[in-house]
Amino acid sequence: MKVTFLGTGTSQGIPIIGSNHPVCLSEDSKDKRLRVSVLIDYEGFTYLIDCGPDFRQQMLNSGCEKIDAILFTHEHSDHVNGLDDIRPFYYKQGDIPLYAHKRVLKSLKKRFDYIFKTKNKYPGTPSVLANRIKNKPFVINNIEVLPINGKHMELQVFGFRFNDFAYLTDMKTVKEKEIKKLKGVKVLVVNALRIETHYSHFNLEEALNFIEKVNPERAYLTHISHMLGFHKDVSKVLPNNVYLAYDNLQITI
């Protein structure tokens, strides 16, 4: 399995528009972060988690030619706003399968009503196959996906486990019984916003505590704000098996 980090930034991305914060002004490419998303390549199939506003650029950067499914963690704009740009994939492949909680599908239908229309569609609009998921394992083509349920302040969010790999973002609280589903995972990706605590996201300390509980072989931090600091500085203070993810990083599991 190959995982590509398409984006590792929090909702505004880094740099923030018009910001003079030193991290936003950094020339290190690892300090430039598009909105969070990962691409999973597994036995000839390609799965995308979230489809945010930087989706088009991320597809160009990664050279991705085919998407077999898009899984959504939740409906916030930084995770869904690129959906219109699935058009090139739709033209080649036909309806694109989506997997999401019913609440997220409802939100997508409202935001992108023209995509979900079945009659009198405007020519050129893409179509999708919406699959509602619950907090139960489901199969896509060749792989079983295990959802991990968590809370983003009050909002329900899904993380996903694919075999030895798990991806969780926008988490603030995860119950013990959900953490148990991560047992034995080799690579864990989890959100770490900044040093200070935040009402709806793990800060660095909470993310590291969570990693310690799950105890994967290695872990990567994502959904990063400029307030976490420079990539090279933060990387130095992390435990040995924990890494800051950065855009275009590829890992093999």
Positions that interact with Zn ion (CB under 5 A): 76, 78, 170
Hey, is 48 helix, strand or coil? strand
Shortest distance (Å) from residue 200 CB to Zn ion: 7
Comparing CB distances to Zn ion, the nearer of 127 and 149 is 149
Q: Compare residues 85 and 170 and give the one whose CB is closer to Zn ion.
A: 170
Output the smallest distance, CB 223 to Zn ion, in A: 6
* Spatial distance between the Cα atoms of 55 and 36, rounded to a whole number of angstroms: 9
Q: How far is the CB of 17 from Zn ion (least distance, A)?
A: 17
Q: Which residue is nearest to Zn ion (CB)?
A: 76
Q: Residue 66 or residue 102: which is nearer to Zn ion going by CB?
A: 102
- The CB-based long-range contact list for 23-26 (8 Å cut-off, 24+ gap) reads 23/226, 23/227, 23/228, 23/229, 23/230, 24/226, 26/230
Min dist CB 36 to Zn ion, Å, is 6
Q: Cβ closer to Zn ion: 161 or 172? A: 172
- Output the smallest distance, CB 153 to Zn ion, in A: 9
- Closest distance to Zn ion from the beta carbon of 251 (Å): 21
Q: Considering beta carbons, is residue 76 or 161 the nearer one to Zn ion? A: 76
* CB nearer to Zn ion: pick between 9 and 126: 9
